[in-house]
Amino acid sequence: MNLTERLSLYIQLTRLHRPIGILLLLWPTLWAVWIASAGHPSWLILLIFALGTVLMRSSGCAVNDYADRHIDKHVKRTQNRPLTSGKISEREALWVAIVLALISFALILPLNPLTWIMAFPAAFLAASYPFTKRFFAIPQAYLGIAFGFGIPMAFAAVQGTVPTVAWVMLLANVFWAVAYDTEYAMVYRDDHIHLGIHSSALFFGKYDVLAVMACYTVTLLLLAAAGLMAGLGIVYFVGLVVAEGIALHHYQLIKDRSREKCFAAFLHNNWFGAVVFAGVVGDYLGR
C-alpha cells in the first residue's frame, strides 16, 4: 500500500472527509473564546483552539472505531470502515489517536498551567465517550460534555480562571448535543436495537421528537442566561431568535421520523451553532 492510499485510510478513520463533527465541536469553542476575550480574541488562542478542535475530534473518531470494531462489522454502513475491514490494524488506529492527542496537547503549551490541567479531563472525556454507549442510557449527554469542554478551557486560556458563565455555556452545549445527536440516533434506531447499544432515541422512545424540542428550548434559555451574565446585548439575542427559528425548522424535519429528514436536521445544526456565533461576534462589533 502506497502513502497516498494510507493517508486516504487515515482520513476515513478520523472522519476528516465528514467535517460536521468538527463544526459541532468548533462553534461552542468559538462562542467561549469570543466571550472570554470580550470580543477581542488573541489570534494565537484562536489558532490553537481551532487546530485543537480538529485534532481532538479526529483522535476521538479513531478511538470510536477502535471501541466499535466488533460492532461495526454487523452494520452495513460501517462494515467497510478501515479498522473494521482490516485495512488498518487495531494498534495502528490507537497510535493515530495517541499521536493526534499528543500534538493537540503540544499546541496548548504556550498557554497557562490551568489550561494544561484542564486538557487531561478533556482528553479523558474524548477517549471514554465511545465506550459509554454500552452502559449509559443517554450517551449523547456525555458527548455534550466532551464536545463542550473547550468552553471552560477557552475561559481558562483567556482569563486564567473558569467563571460561572463558562459552566452555564457548557450545560447549554450538553442539551444542544442531546438534541442534535438524538436526531442522528433517530436515523439509526433499528441498528441500535439490533446491536443492543444505548442511545437517546431509544431512551426517549415515542417522546423523542418532544425531547429534542425540549432540549433545544433549554439550550436557548441557558444561552440567554449566559448572554445576560456576559453583558451581551440585542444583537446576540437576535442571534438566539434566529437559532430558535432553526430549531423550529428541525421540528418540521423530524416530526414524521423520516430517516433522511432526521439526518438533514442533524447536519443543519451547523447553522444553529453558526448563528449563535454570529450573534456573539456581531454584538461585540456593534459596540
Question: What cell numbers appear for 253 in the block?
Answer: 424535519
Domain that includes residue 75, residue range: 3-285
Q: Which of 28-37, 61-70, 92-101, 262-271 has the lowest mean pLDDT?
A: 61-70
**Rounded distance, CA 199 to CA 182, Å?**
8
Question: Mean pLDDT over all residues of the chain?
Answer: 93
Residue 1: pLDDT band by 50, 70, 90 thresholds? low
Q: What is the CATH number of the domain that holds 152?
A: 1.10.357.140
In this prediction, residue 123 carries a pLDDT of: 92
* Residue located via cell numbers 478542535: 53
CA distances from 249 to 50, 160, 254 (A): 29, 39, 9
Measured in Å, how far apart are the chain's first and last C-alpha atoms? 56
> Which percentage of the chain shows pLDDT scores above 70?
98
In this prediction, residue 196 carries a pLDDT of: 74
pLDDT digits (tens, 9 = 90+) for 158-216: 999 999 999 999 999 999 999 999 999 999 887 777 677 888 989 999 999 999 999 99
- The pTM of this model reads 0.94
CA distances from 207 to 191, 259, 263 (A): 19, 16, 18
Cα angle value 83/86/91 (rounded, 5°): 60
Q: Are 139 and 97 in contact (CB under 8 A)?
A: no
pLDDT digits (tens, 9 = 90+) for 56-80: 999 999 998 898 887 777 666 777 8
> Which percentage of the chain shows pLDDT scores above 90?
76
Residue 2: pLDDT band by 50, 70, 90 thresholds? confident
pLDDT digits (tens, 9 = 90+) for 135-152: 888 989 999 999 999 999
How many domains is the chain partitioned into structurally?
A: 1
